[in-house]
Protein backbone atom coordinates (compact mmCIF):
# COMPACT_ATOMS: atom_id res chain seq x y z
CA UNK A 1 0.00 0.00 0.00
CA UNK A 2 1.62 3.31 -1.05
CA UNK A 3 1.50 6.45 1.04
CA UNK A 4 -1.57 8.46 0.10
CA UNK A 5 -2.61 12.09 0.52
CA UNK A 6 -5.83 13.40 -1.00
CA UNK A 7 -6.70 17.08 -1.44
CA UNK A 8 -10.34 17.85 -2.25
CA UNK A 9 -12.31 21.05 -2.81
CA UNK A 10 -15.89 22.03 -3.54
CA UNK A 11 -14.95 25.55 -4.60
CA UNK A 12 -16.84 26.33 -7.81
CA UNK A 13 -15.57 25.45 -10.34
CA UNK A 14 -13.74 22.75 -8.41
CA UNK A 15 -11.59 21.75 -11.38
CA UNK A 16 -9.63 24.95 -10.79
CA UNK A 17 -7.76 22.89 -8.19
CA UNK A 18 -5.70 21.65 -11.13
CA UNK A 19 -4.58 25.21 -11.88
CA UNK A 20 -3.63 25.83 -8.25
CA UNK A 21 -1.61 22.60 -8.06
CA UNK A 22 -0.19 23.11 -11.57
CA UNK A 23 -1.32 19.57 -12.45
CA UNK A 24 -3.80 18.68 -15.19
CA UNK A 25 -6.83 16.75 -13.85
CA UNK A 26 -6.96 14.55 -16.97
CA UNK A 27 -3.38 13.29 -16.68
CA UNK A 28 -1.42 10.97 -14.44
CA UNK A 29 2.03 12.37 -13.68
CA UNK A 30 4.99 10.59 -12.09
CA UNK A 31 7.92 12.28 -10.36
CA UNK A 32 11.10 10.37 -9.55
CA UNK A 33 12.43 10.64 -6.01
CA UNK A 34 15.73 9.46 -4.58
CA UNK A 35 13.80 6.94 -2.48
CA UNK A 36 11.07 5.90 -4.96
CA UNK A 37 8.44 7.56 -7.12
CA UNK A 38 5.62 10.04 -6.49
CA UNK A 39 2.47 9.97 -8.62
CA UNK A 40 -0.22 12.65 -8.89
CA UNK A 41 -3.65 11.79 -10.23
CA UNK A 42 -7.23 13.05 -9.93
CA UNK A 43 -9.67 10.25 -8.94
CA UNK A 44 -12.56 12.73 -9.32
CA UNK A 45 -12.67 15.95 -11.30
CA UNK A 46 -15.91 17.84 -11.78
CA UNK A 47 -16.99 21.43 -11.36
CA UNK A 48 -18.78 20.42 -8.14
CA UNK A 49 -15.95 18.50 -6.44
CA UNK A 50 -12.37 17.71 -7.45
CA UNK A 51 -9.84 15.53 -5.63
CA UNK A 52 -6.11 15.29 -6.24
CA UNK A 53 -4.18 12.33 -4.86
CA UNK A 54 -0.47 12.05 -4.14
CA UNK A 55 0.81 8.48 -4.01
CA UNK A 56 4.33 7.69 -2.91
CA UNK A 57 5.91 4.33 -3.65
CA UNK A 58 8.94 3.99 -1.40
CA UNK A 59 11.76 1.62 -2.32
CA UNK A 60 13.17 0.52 1.08
CA UNK A 61 16.30 -0.96 -0.51
CA UNK A 62 17.11 2.22 -2.42
CA UNK A 63 16.43 4.24 0.73
CA UNK A 64 18.77 2.06 2.79
CA UNK A 65 21.53 2.29 0.18
CA UNK A 66 21.26 6.08 0.04
CA UNK A 67 21.81 6.61 3.77
CA UNK A 68 25.06 8.32 4.86
CA UNK A 69 27.98 5.98 5.44
CA UNK A 70 28.30 7.06 9.05
CA UNK A 71 24.60 6.43 9.81
CA UNK A 72 23.99 3.62 12.32
CA UNK A 73 23.12 0.23 10.89
CA UNK A 74 20.14 -1.29 12.67
CA UNK A 75 20.27 -4.53 10.73
CA UNK A 76 16.81 -5.47 9.42
CA UNK A 77 15.31 -2.20 10.71
CA UNK A 78 16.68 -0.39 7.68
CA UNK A 79 14.64 -2.71 5.43
CA UNK A 80 11.65 -3.58 7.64
CA UNK A 81 9.90 -0.36 8.70
CA UNK A 82 6.78 1.74 8.14
CA UNK A 83 8.21 4.07 5.52
CA UNK A 84 6.37 2.45 2.64
CA UNK A 85 3.02 2.56 4.41
CA UNK A 86 2.76 5.70 6.55
CA UNK A 87 2.85 9.43 5.80
CA UNK A 88 6.23 10.31 7.25
CA UNK A 89 8.80 12.94 6.33
CA UNK A 90 9.30 11.14 3.01
CA UNK A 91 5.81 12.22 1.97
CA UNK A 92 6.67 15.76 3.08
CA UNK A 93 9.78 15.71 0.88
CA UNK A 94 7.77 14.44 -2.11
CA UNK A 95 5.02 17.00 -1.47
CA UNK A 96 7.62 19.76 -1.39
CA UNK A 97 9.10 18.61 -4.69
CA UNK A 98 5.89 17.85 -6.58
CA UNK A 99 3.97 20.97 -5.49
CA UNK A 100 6.82 23.49 -5.38
CA UNK A 101 5.01 26.21 -7.33
CA UNK A 102 1.71 25.62 -5.52
CA UNK A 103 3.49 26.02 -2.17
CA UNK A 104 4.83 29.40 -3.29
CA UNK A 105 1.29 30.68 -3.89
CA UNK A 106 1.95 31.53 -7.54
CA UNK A 107 -0.65 30.81 -10.21
CA UNK A 108 -0.63 33.06 -13.27
CA UNK A 109 -3.85 31.55 -14.58
CA UNK A 110 -5.79 31.97 -11.31
CA UNK A 111 -3.71 34.28 -9.07
CA UNK A 112 -6.72 35.80 -7.34
CA UNK A 113 -7.91 32.30 -6.44
CA UNK A 114 -4.41 31.30 -5.26
CA UNK A 115 -4.51 34.29 -2.90
CA UNK A 116 -7.91 33.29 -1.52
CA UNK A 117 -9.00 30.83 1.14
CA UNK A 118 -11.08 28.04 -0.39
CA UNK A 119 -12.93 25.05 1.11
CA UNK A 120 -10.47 22.17 1.41
CA UNK A 121 -10.49 18.62 2.72
CA UNK A 122 -7.18 16.84 3.26
CA UNK A 123 -7.02 13.17 4.18
CA UNK A 124 -4.13 10.88 5.13
CA UNK A 125 -5.29 7.30 5.76
CA UNK A 126 -2.18 6.24 7.75
CA UNK A 127 -0.19 8.85 9.66
CA UNK A 128 2.29 8.31 12.52
CA UNK A 129 1.22 10.47 15.45
CA UNK A 130 3.50 10.22 18.45
CA UNK A 131 1.82 11.39 21.63
CA UNK A 132 -1.77 10.33 20.75
CA UNK A 133 -4.31 11.83 18.39
CA UNK A 134 -4.53 14.85 20.69
CA UNK A 135 -1.24 16.13 19.22
CA UNK A 136 -2.86 16.38 15.78
CA UNK A 137 -5.63 18.53 17.25
CA UNK A 138 -3.11 20.77 19.02
CA UNK A 139 -1.13 21.29 15.83
CA UNK A 140 -3.86 21.80 13.23
CA UNK A 141 -6.82 23.37 15.05
CA UNK A 142 -5.03 26.70 15.76
CA UNK A 143 -4.51 26.97 11.98
CA UNK A 144 -8.26 27.00 11.33
CA UNK A 145 -8.79 23.31 10.54
CA UNK A 146 -11.56 21.06 11.79
CA UNK A 147 -9.63 17.94 12.78
CA UNK A 148 -10.77 14.32 12.77
CA UNK A 149 -7.95 12.06 14.00
CA UNK A 150 -9.09 8.46 14.29
CA UNK A 151 -6.64 6.13 16.08
CA UNK A 152 -5.97 2.92 14.14
CA UNK A 153 -6.02 -0.37 16.09
CA UNK A 154 -2.89 -2.51 16.30
CA UNK A 155 -4.90 -5.38 14.88
CA UNK A 156 -8.61 -5.28 14.17
CA UNK A 157 -8.81 -9.01 14.98
CA UNK A 158 -7.54 -8.38 18.51
CA UNK A 159 -9.17 -5.20 19.83
CA UNK A 160 -7.84 -5.94 23.32
CA UNK A 161 -4.37 -5.04 22.02
CA UNK A 162 -5.46 -1.42 21.85
CA UNK A 163 -4.58 1.32 19.42
CA UNK A 164 -1.38 1.79 17.43
CA UNK A 165 0.55 5.07 17.16
CA UNK A 166 -1.08 5.67 13.76
CA UNK A 167 -4.17 7.71 12.96
CA UNK A 168 -6.42 8.36 10.02
CA UNK A 169 -6.35 12.15 9.70
CA UNK A 170 -8.98 14.28 7.98
CA UNK A 171 -8.69 18.07 7.92
CA UNK A 172 -11.51 20.31 6.71
CA UNK A 173 -11.49 24.07 6.54
CA UNK A 174 -11.42 27.20 4.42
CA UNK A 175 -7.71 27.79 3.91
CA UNK A 176 -5.43 29.15 1.19
CA UNK A 177 -4.03 26.12 -0.67
CA UNK A 178 -0.40 27.31 -0.42
CA UNK A 179 -0.80 27.62 3.36
CA UNK A 180 -2.32 24.14 3.58
CA UNK A 181 0.58 22.56 1.66
CA UNK A 182 3.24 24.37 3.69
CA UNK A 183 1.54 23.39 6.93
CA UNK A 184 1.59 19.73 5.88
CA UNK A 185 5.23 20.05 4.76
CA UNK A 186 6.23 21.16 8.25
CA UNK A 187 3.83 19.18 10.42
CA UNK A 188 4.05 15.70 8.85
CA UNK A 189 7.57 15.09 10.23
CA UNK A 190 6.54 16.86 13.45
CA UNK A 191 3.74 14.35 14.03
CA UNK A 192 6.12 11.48 13.27
CA UNK A 193 8.85 13.15 15.39
CA UNK A 194 11.40 11.79 12.96
CA UNK A 195 13.05 12.62 9.66
CA UNK A 196 14.34 10.06 7.23
CA UNK A 197 17.03 12.19 5.65
CA UNK A 198 20.19 14.01 6.67
CA UNK A 199 19.45 17.38 8.27
CA UNK A 200 21.86 20.17 7.38
CA UNK A 201 22.32 23.66 8.83
CA UNK A 202 19.79 25.12 6.38
CA UNK A 203 16.95 23.26 8.13
CA UNK A 204 16.19 26.40 10.15
CA UNK A 205 15.78 28.43 6.95
CA UNK A 206 13.52 25.72 5.51
CA UNK A 207 11.38 25.74 8.65
CA UNK A 208 11.00 29.54 8.70
CA UNK A 209 10.34 29.70 4.97
CA UNK A 210 7.63 27.03 5.11
CA UNK A 211 6.29 28.31 8.44
CA UNK A 212 5.44 31.61 6.78
CA UNK A 213 3.41 33.86 9.05
CA UNK A 214 1.63 31.07 10.93
CA UNK A 215 4.44 29.37 12.84
CA UNK A 216 5.64 32.45 14.75
CA UNK A 217 2.21 32.86 16.37
CA UNK A 218 1.33 29.17 16.75
CA UNK A 219 0.64 28.27 20.41
CA UNK A 220 2.67 25.06 19.94
CA UNK A 221 5.57 26.64 18.04
CA UNK A 222 8.13 25.33 20.54
CA UNK A 223 6.81 21.77 20.11
CA UNK A 224 6.80 22.17 16.32
CA UNK A 225 10.34 23.57 16.28
CA UNK A 226 11.77 20.98 18.66
CA UNK A 227 10.31 18.04 16.76
CA UNK A 228 11.03 19.43 13.29
CA UNK A 229 14.69 20.00 14.20
CA UNK A 230 15.06 16.79 16.19
CA UNK A 231 18.65 15.82 16.93
CA UNK A 232 20.17 18.80 15.10
CA UNK A 233 20.87 21.13 18.03
CA UNK A 234 19.30 24.00 16.04
CA UNK A 235 16.13 24.43 18.12
CA UNK A 236 17.45 27.36 20.15
CA UNK A 237 18.57 29.16 17.00
CA UNK A 238 15.18 28.66 15.33
CA UNK A 239 13.20 29.86 18.37
CA UNK A 240 15.37 32.97 18.60
CA UNK A 241 14.71 33.78 14.95
CA UNK A 242 10.98 33.12 15.36
CA UNK A 243 10.98 35.66 18.18
CA UNK A 244 12.31 38.16 15.63
CA UNK A 245 9.24 37.55 13.47
CA UNK A 246 6.59 37.32 16.19
CA UNK A 247 5.37 40.44 17.95
CA UNK A 248 3.78 38.44 20.76
CA UNK A 249 6.19 38.26 23.73
CA UNK A 250 6.94 34.76 25.04
CA UNK A 251 6.42 33.88 28.67
CA UNK A 252 8.91 35.77 30.86
CA UNK A 253 11.87 33.85 32.19
CA UNK A 254 13.55 34.99 35.37
CA UNK A 255 16.97 36.64 34.94
CA UNK A 256 16.66 36.48 31.14
CA UNK A 257 16.67 39.78 29.20
CA UNK A 258 13.49 40.67 27.34
CA UNK A 259 13.42 39.31 23.76
CA UNK A 260 14.35 41.70 20.99
CA UNK A 261 10.79 41.89 19.64
CA UNK A 262 9.60 43.11 23.05
CA UNK A 263 12.41 45.68 23.29
CA UNK A 264 11.62 46.87 19.78
CA UNK A 265 7.97 47.46 20.62
CA UNK A 266 8.83 49.13 23.93
CA UNK A 267 11.28 51.44 22.12
CA UNK A 268 8.61 52.44 19.61
CA UNK A 269 6.08 53.11 22.38
CA UNK A 270 8.62 55.18 24.34
CA UNK A 271 9.47 57.23 21.25
CA UNK A 272 5.81 57.90 20.48
CA UNK A 273 5.34 59.11 24.06
CA UNK A 274 8.41 61.31 23.65
CA UNK A 275 6.87 62.81 20.49
CA UNK A 276 3.59 63.44 22.34
CA UNK A 277 1.66 61.97 19.42
CA UNK A 278 -2.12 61.87 19.91
CA UNK A 279 -2.93 59.91 16.73
CA UNK A 280 -0.85 57.01 15.38
CA UNK A 281 -1.11 54.71 12.37
CA UNK A 282 0.77 51.39 12.29
CA UNK A 283 1.66 50.75 8.65
CA UNK A 284 2.00 46.98 8.33
CA UNK A 285 0.24 46.22 11.61
CA UNK A 286 0.31 42.43 11.23
CA UNK A 287 -1.88 40.84 13.87
CA UNK A 288 -2.26 44.07 15.81
CA UNK A 289 0.07 43.75 18.79
CA UNK A 290 1.34 47.33 18.60
CA UNK A 291 -2.18 48.58 17.96
CA UNK A 292 -3.36 46.74 21.09
CA UNK A 293 -0.64 48.37 23.19
CA UNK A 294 -1.56 51.82 21.85
CA UNK A 295 -5.25 51.30 22.61
CA UNK A 296 -4.39 50.61 26.24
CA UNK A 297 -3.08 54.17 26.56
CA UNK A 298 -5.95 56.69 26.68
CA UNK A 299 -3.63 59.51 25.59
CA UNK A 300 -3.95 58.23 22.01
CA UNK A 301 -7.22 59.64 20.70
CA UNK A 302 -6.93 57.83 17.34
CA UNK A 303 -5.19 54.52 16.53
CA UNK A 304 -5.17 52.90 13.11
CA UNK A 305 -3.67 49.76 11.64
CA UNK A 306 -3.12 49.12 7.95
CA UNK A 307 -2.10 45.71 6.61
CA UNK A 308 -1.86 44.21 3.12
CA UNK A 309 -2.82 40.70 4.31
CA UNK A 310 -6.55 40.20 4.81
CA UNK A 311 -5.81 37.10 6.87
CA UNK A 312 -3.60 39.04 9.28
CA UNK A 313 -6.29 41.73 9.57
CA UNK A 314 -8.90 39.15 10.51
CA UNK A 315 -6.55 37.78 13.15
CA UNK A 316 -5.93 41.31 14.43
CA UNK A 317 -9.66 41.96 14.69
CA UNK A 318 -10.12 38.73 16.66
CA UNK A 319 -7.18 39.46 18.95
CA UNK A 320 -8.44 42.98 19.62
CA UNK A 321 -11.99 41.68 20.20
CA UNK A 322 -13.36 44.29 17.83
CA UNK A 323 -16.84 42.76 17.86
CA UNK A 324 -17.01 43.08 21.66
CA UNK A 325 -15.53 46.59 21.93
CA UNK A 326 -17.42 49.37 23.60
CA UNK A 327 -18.53 52.28 21.46
CA UNK A 328 -15.92 54.69 22.85
CA UNK A 329 -13.04 52.27 22.25
CA UNK A 330 -14.30 51.37 18.78
CA UNK A 331 -14.42 55.07 17.84
CA UNK A 332 -10.67 55.32 18.57
CA UNK A 333 -9.76 52.39 16.30
CA UNK A 334 -9.60 51.90 12.55
CA UNK A 335 -8.31 48.73 10.83
CA UNK A 336 -8.15 48.56 7.07
CA UNK A 337 -6.47 46.72 4.21
CA UNK A 338 -4.07 48.65 2.03
CA UNK A 339 -0.64 48.77 0.43
CA UNK A 340 2.30 51.09 0.96
CA UNK A 341 2.87 51.21 -2.78
CA UNK A 342 -0.42 53.04 -3.58
CA UNK A 343 -1.54 56.50 -2.56
CA UNK A 344 -4.36 56.26 -0.04
CA UNK A 345 -6.15 59.21 1.62
CA UNK A 346 -6.76 57.06 4.71
CA UNK A 347 -3.03 57.30 5.54
CA UNK A 348 -3.10 61.07 5.99
CA UNK A 349 -3.79 63.20 9.07
CA UNK A 350 -1.83 61.35 11.77
CA UNK A 351 0.66 62.77 14.23
CA UNK A 352 2.89 59.74 13.77
CA UNK A 353 3.24 56.69 11.51
CA UNK A 354 5.13 53.51 12.41
CA UNK A 355 6.83 51.11 10.00
CA UNK A 356 8.08 48.45 12.39
CA UNK A 357 10.07 45.74 10.57
CA UNK A 358 8.29 46.56 7.31
CA UNK A 359 10.69 48.16 4.81
CA UNK A 360 12.89 45.06 4.53
CA UNK A 361 9.86 43.13 3.18
CA UNK A 362 9.52 45.55 0.24
CA UNK A 363 11.32 44.94 -3.04
CA UNK A 364 14.14 47.49 -3.40
CA UNK A 365 12.68 48.66 -6.72
CA UNK A 366 9.50 49.73 -4.89
CA UNK A 367 11.11 51.59 -1.99
CA UNK A 368 10.84 54.85 -3.95
CA UNK A 369 7.08 54.35 -4.21
CA UNK A 370 6.82 53.62 -0.47
CA UNK A 371 8.81 56.77 0.23
CA UNK A 372 6.47 58.84 -1.96
CA UNK A 373 3.31 57.38 -0.37
CA UNK A 374 4.43 57.77 3.26
CA UNK A 375 6.68 60.83 3.29
CA UNK A 376 5.50 62.67 0.19
CA UNK A 377 1.71 62.16 0.26
CA UNK A 378 0.55 61.03 3.73
CA UNK A 379 3.15 63.29 5.44
CA UNK A 380 2.56 62.48 9.12
CA UNK A 381 4.18 64.70 11.73
CA UNK A 382 6.66 61.96 12.55
CA UNK A 383 7.62 58.57 11.09
CA UNK A 384 9.28 55.76 13.04
CA UNK A 385 11.11 53.11 10.98
CA UNK A 386 12.70 50.02 12.50
CA UNK A 387 14.70 47.50 10.46
CA UNK A 388 17.37 44.83 11.14
CA UNK A 389 21.01 45.87 11.34
CA UNK A 390 22.85 43.61 8.88
CA UNK A 391 26.17 44.47 10.55
CA UNK A 392 24.95 42.57 13.63
CA UNK A 393 24.06 39.35 11.78
CA UNK A 394 27.39 37.57 12.46
CA UNK A 395 26.31 37.43 16.12
CA UNK A 396 23.52 35.00 15.19
CA UNK A 397 24.85 31.45 15.18
CA UNK A 398 23.93 29.29 12.19
CA UNK A 399 22.38 32.24 10.34
CA UNK A 400 22.54 31.68 6.59
CA UNK A 401 21.65 34.76 4.55
CA UNK A 402 19.05 37.15 5.99
CA UNK A 403 17.17 36.78 9.27
CA UNK A 404 13.86 35.87 7.68
CA UNK A 405 13.16 34.26 4.28
CA UNK A 406 10.73 37.03 3.29
CA UNK A 407 13.30 39.82 3.78
CA UNK A 408 14.16 41.29 0.40
CA UNK A 409 17.29 42.89 1.88
CA UNK A 410 18.85 43.90 5.19
CA UNK A 411 20.70 47.21 5.54
CA UNK A 412 23.99 47.84 7.25
CA UNK A 413 24.12 50.91 9.50
CA UNK A 414 25.76 52.92 6.74
CA UNK A 415 23.14 51.86 4.17
CA UNK A 416 20.24 52.69 6.49
CA UNK A 417 21.78 56.07 7.32
CA UNK A 418 22.20 56.89 3.63
CA UNK A 419 18.58 55.97 2.86
CA UNK A 420 17.22 57.85 5.89
CA UNK A 421 19.24 61.01 5.17
CA UNK A 422 18.08 60.99 1.56
CA UNK A 423 14.41 60.56 2.51
CA UNK A 424 14.60 63.34 5.11
CA UNK A 425 16.26 65.77 2.72
CA UNK A 426 13.84 65.08 -0.13
CA UNK A 427 10.68 65.53 1.96
CA UNK A 428 11.47 68.17 4.56
CA UNK A 429 12.11 65.94 7.58
CA UNK A 430 14.95 65.65 10.05
CA UNK A 431 16.07 62.18 11.12
CA UNK A 432 17.72 60.75 14.23
CA UNK A 433 19.15 57.23 14.18
CA UNK A 434 19.05 55.02 17.28
CA UNK A 435 19.71 51.39 18.17
CA UNK A 436 17.44 48.85 19.86
CA UNK A 437 18.76 45.89 21.85
CA UNK A 438 22.13 45.09 23.41
CA UNK A 439 24.73 46.77 21.22
CA UNK A 440 27.99 45.17 20.15
CA UNK A 441 30.87 47.68 20.39
CA UNK A 442 31.88 46.96 16.80
CA UNK A 443 28.66 45.77 15.13
CA UNK A 444 26.09 48.03 16.77
CA UNK A 445 22.61 47.10 18.02
CA UNK A 446 20.59 44.28 16.43
CA UNK A 447 17.76 46.63 15.36
CA UNK A 448 17.99 50.10 13.83
CA UNK A 449 15.46 52.85 14.56
CA UNK A 450 15.01 55.97 12.45
CA UNK A 451 12.98 58.81 14.02
CA UNK A 452 11.83 61.22 11.32
CA UNK A 453 10.34 64.59 12.35
CA UNK A 454 8.67 66.87 9.84
CA UNK A 455 10.31 70.31 9.74
In a domain, 143, yes or no: yes
CB contact at 8 A, 448 and 417: no
In a domain, 231, yes or no: no
Indicate if 300 and 374 belong to the same structural domain: yes
Which is nearest to 387 in space by CA: 217, 211, 244?
Answer: 244
pLDDT at 202: 66
C-alpha to C-alpha distance for 43 and 191, rounded to whole angstroms: 27
Within this chain, do residues 382 and 280 fall inside the same structural domain, yes or no?
yes
Do residue 42 and residue 186 come from a single domain?
yes
DSSP track, 334-357? EEEE--TTS--GGG-S-SEEEEES
Is residue 234 a contact partner of residue 204, using CB atoms and an 8 Å limit?
yes
Quick check: is 280 in a domain? yes
Burial 53-78 (b: 16+ CB within 10 A, else e): bbbbbbbeeebbeeeeeeeeeeeeeb
Whether residue 180 is found in the same domain as residue 264: no
> How far apart, in whole angstroms, are the C-alpha atoms of residue 19 and residue 29?
15
The answer to whether residue 250 is domain-embedded is no
- Same domain for 94 and 167? yes
- Is residue 269 situated within a structural domain? yes
Which of 181, 198, 215 delimits the end of a domain? Answer: 198
Domain final position from 182, 198, 214 = 198
Say what the pLDDT of residue 37 is: 87
Please name which of 177, 171, 241, 169 lies closest in space to residue 207, comparing C-alpha atoms.
241
Are residues 69 and 168 part of one domain?
yes
- pLDDT, position 233: 63
Q: Does 396 lie in the same domain as 275?
A: yes
Looking at 145, 174, 198, the residue that finishes a domain is: 198
Residues 189 and 269 grouped into a single domain? no
CA distance 158 to 63: 32
Task: Report yes or no on 297 lying in a domain.
Answer: yes
Count Cβ atoms within 10 A of the Cβ of residue 170 and give its class: 0-12 exposed, 13-18 middle, 19 or more buried: middle
* 187 plus 323 within the same structural domain: no
Residue 403, pLDDT score: 83
164 and 285 fall within a common domain: no
Strand partners, 149: 169
Rg (alpha carbons) of the chain, rounded to whole number: 25
Give me the pLDDT at residue 86, please. Answer: 62
Strand pairing category for 302-307 and 333-337: parallel
Do 268 and 194 lie in one domain? The reply is: no
pLDDT computed for residue 244 by the predictor: 61
CATH number, position 274: 3.40.50.150
pLDDT, residue 35, reads: 77
Per-residue pLDDT of the chain (455 residues; tens, 9 = 90+): 456 899 999 999 999 999 999 999 999 999 988 778 889 999 999 999 999 999 988 776 656 555 544 444 444 445 555 555 666 778 888 898 899 999 988 898 889 899 899 999 999 988 888 777 888 999 999 998 999 999 888 888 888 888 887 888 999 999 999 999 999 998 988 887 665 555 555 677 778 777 867 887 788 888 888 888 875 566 666 776 676 655 444 444 444 567 788 889 999 999 999 999 999 999 999 888 899 999 999 999 999 999 988 878 888 888 888 888 888 889 999 999 999 989 999 999 999 999 999 999 999 999 999 999 999 999 999 999 999 999 999 988 767 678 887 789 999 999 999 999 999 999 999 999 999 999 999 999 999 999 999 98
Report if residue 388 sits inside a domain: yes
pLDDT of residue 266: 93
- Please tell me the total count of domains within the chain: 2
pLDDT confidence of residue 253: 44
Domain that holds residue 121: 3-198
CATH code of residue 174: 3.30.1610.20
The answer to whether residue 87 is domain-embedded is yes
* 284, 182: one domain: no
Q: Can you count the helices (H) and strands (E) in the chain? A: 16, 14
Amino acid sequence: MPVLLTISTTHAPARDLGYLLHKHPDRVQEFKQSFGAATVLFPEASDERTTAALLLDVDPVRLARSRPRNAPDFSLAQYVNDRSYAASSLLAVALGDVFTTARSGRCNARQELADSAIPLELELPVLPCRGSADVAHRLFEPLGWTVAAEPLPLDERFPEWGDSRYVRLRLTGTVRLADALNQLYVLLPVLDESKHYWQAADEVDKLLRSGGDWLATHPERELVTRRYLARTGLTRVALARLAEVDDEPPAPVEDRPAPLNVRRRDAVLATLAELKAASVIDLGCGQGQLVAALLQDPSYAKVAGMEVSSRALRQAARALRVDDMGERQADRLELFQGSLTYEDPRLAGYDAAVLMEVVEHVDPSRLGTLEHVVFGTARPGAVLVTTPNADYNPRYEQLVGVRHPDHRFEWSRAEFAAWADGVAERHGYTVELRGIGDADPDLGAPTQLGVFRRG
